[in-house]
Structure formats: C-alpha cells, structure tokens
Amino acid sequence: MKRRTFIKWGLTGLTGAACGLYSWQIEPFWLEFVHLKMPVRNLPPALAGKTLMQISDIHVGKRFDYHFLIESFKKAQEVNPDFVVYTGDFVSADKEQVEFSALQEVLASCVKGRLGTVGILGNHDYGRNWTRHAVADTVAAMLEKHGVTMLRNEQVGRHGLSFIGLDDYWGLDFNPEKALSTYRPDQAAIVLCHNPDVCDLDVWNNYQGWILAGHTHGGQCKPPFLPPPLLPVRNKRYTAGKFDLSGNRTLYINRALGHLWQVRFNVRPEITVFELVRG
C-alpha cells in the first residue's frame, strides 16, 4: 500500500471512530433547552408571559444511563416553569421488562409547574407490543403519585388554560373523539398527543390551537441536509419542531429527552420552554 493511500484510509478510520464516539457518548447526553413563543387563542391576560415546559419520551429502562434524566430534571427545575407537560413514553418496554424501580427513582426528581403539571401516555407505556393495560395503569398511577395529572382522553383546566390529553394512537385506549368532545372554540386550550400522525385523522372537532407531540425523537440520527432515515410515523414530514397545519392548528414535535438506543447524531435531546402569549 502506498504511503498516501495508507494515510488516507487512516484518516478516514479516525474520522469514523470520532463520529461514532461522539454519537454514542456525547450527543445523547448533550441536553438542549429550546425556547419558543406560543401564541394561544383566548389566553387569559394573567397567563401572558408565563412559561410552559414540554418534556417527552424519557424512556426509562436499561438502554442508557437513566441518571442523565435525573440530572436533566434538576437543570429544568432551575427554569422554574409555570406549567409542565409530559407527552408520553415514560418507559422503554417493547422487548424488555419494565423498570419500575428505575422509573420510581427518576420520578422522585420530576419537574413540576407552579401552576399545573399534566401528562399523557405513549405507546411504550403500554408494555411489550403496546398490549398491556396493567403496565399503562401502573405507569399512570406512579406519575399521579408524584404530582402529574394524567389525562387519558380527558380535559383539565388550570388557571384558565385547558389541557386536552389524548391517549396513545397505538395503545389500547385511543379515543380522541371523547377527549375533544367538550372542546369549545372560545376557550384557551392546548392538546397533548404523543403520536403526531393523529394530526392527519378526522377527529379534531374543529380544534384550533397548539398540539404538543413527541414519539419521533427527531429520528435520533439525521445526516446533514437530509431527512432522518428512520421515523416511526406514516407522515414522514413529521420529524421535529414546529409545523403549521390546516384548520388553524400548530404542531410541535419534541425531539425527546431520552432515547430508545444510546445513539444520536445531529438530533440533540431536548426540553422545550414555551412563553405563552396572547394569540
């Protein structure tokens, strides 16, 4: 082998090793706080300027060091949010036993809002193959015990702001019609919906406003200038970030705080902090 070829292949190998180390040991634990304004129709004047924090897809399990979640929660607590919403997938349980003891340890440090804390379930919260009611009920009960009001096709009001929580699209109790049946256009409301594919279904009862989702993890690995190759949604447009939808709806997809596998590239873990403004 010529010296120039040897150097070329050597540098290629070193670059590949560096990228692999970065995507395995650095980016999965490089938390980003994303700050955005959230215009809300009919928002009470007293809530203008308040903060709403979204945390999604923490995926407590054996696939990465869950102490990262505890450290992230402690950083998030310093923001002192007014509202906190959790948009599903608290555990990783599709092919392994649910780590309830680890979830208990993580939830002991969970972030709570000064004015309200609500959450919904994701598909993983229904256990292996999304078919176990007992797992979902246990996860929901643990969250309730730690001060998170769990919405399972329900609506709850907090200081003039309504939160409408849809149960998971792939789970056993998906019933968006029930969740949205009491929605009124004159109320300030935000919908929590784990899987963004629900946005394309004819179930919205003329809802106008924000929809906060997770589920995609932004693909976890995204080549520069290209879409992520793997997304667990039908609508491949739904990657991460903000999307303007029909019917005066706005979708925001959080990139997830945890991960199914300890690898990320160009898709840092995220906690979103919205500033509520009158829309």
Residue 120 near residue 164, CB atoms below 8 Å: no
User: What tokens were used for 129?
Assistant: 């193959």
Query: Which tokens hold the place of 257?
Result: 């705080």
3-state class (DSSP) for residue 13: helix
Res. 54: pLDDT tops 60: yes
Q: How many CA within 13 A on the CB side of residue 210?
A: 31
The model's pLDDT over 89-133, given as tens digits with 9 standing for 90+, comes to 999 986 667 889 999 999 999 999 999 999 999 999 999 999 999
Q: Residue 84 has which token pair?
A: 């906190």
Q: What's the one-letter identity of residue 240?
A: A
pLDDT of residue 95: 65
Cα→Cα distances 127→87, 97, 132, 170, 232, Å: 17, 8, 5, 11, 17
> What is the rounded CA–CA span in Å between residue 18 and residue 88?
33
Asked whether residue 7 carries a pLDDT value surpassing 50, the answer given is no
Helix (H) or strand (E) holding 5: helix 3-21
Instruction: Please report the sign of the dihedral spanned by the C-alpha atoms of residue 59, residue 64, residue 66, residue 67.
Output: negative
Q: What is the mean pLDDT of residues 62-77?
A: 96
- Percent of the chain's residues with pLDDT above 90: 87
How far is 1 from 215, CA to CA, in rounded Å?
48
Q: Output the DSSP codes for 40-77.
A: ETT--GGGTT-EEEEE----BSSSS-THHHHHHHHHHH
Which pLDDT score is estimated for 1?
A: 53
pLDDT band at 228 (very low <50, low <70, confident <90, very high): very high
CA distance 178 to 146: 26
To which H or E segment does residue 145 belong? helix 133-145
pLDDT digits (tens, 9 = 90+) for 204-219: 999 999 999 999 999 9
* Cα–Cα nearest to 125, from 88, 175, 86, 172: 88
Euclidean distance between CA atoms 140 and 126, whole angstroms: 10
Tens of pLDDT, residues 245-266: 999 999 999 999 999 999 999 9
Round to whole Å and give the CA distance between 76 and 55.
10
Beta bridge partners of 35: 273
Distance between the two ends of the chain, CA-based, in angstroms?
A: 66
Name residue 96's amino acid.
E
Asked whether residue 18 carries a pLDDT value surpassing 70, the answer given is no
**What is the model's pLDDT at position 2?**
54
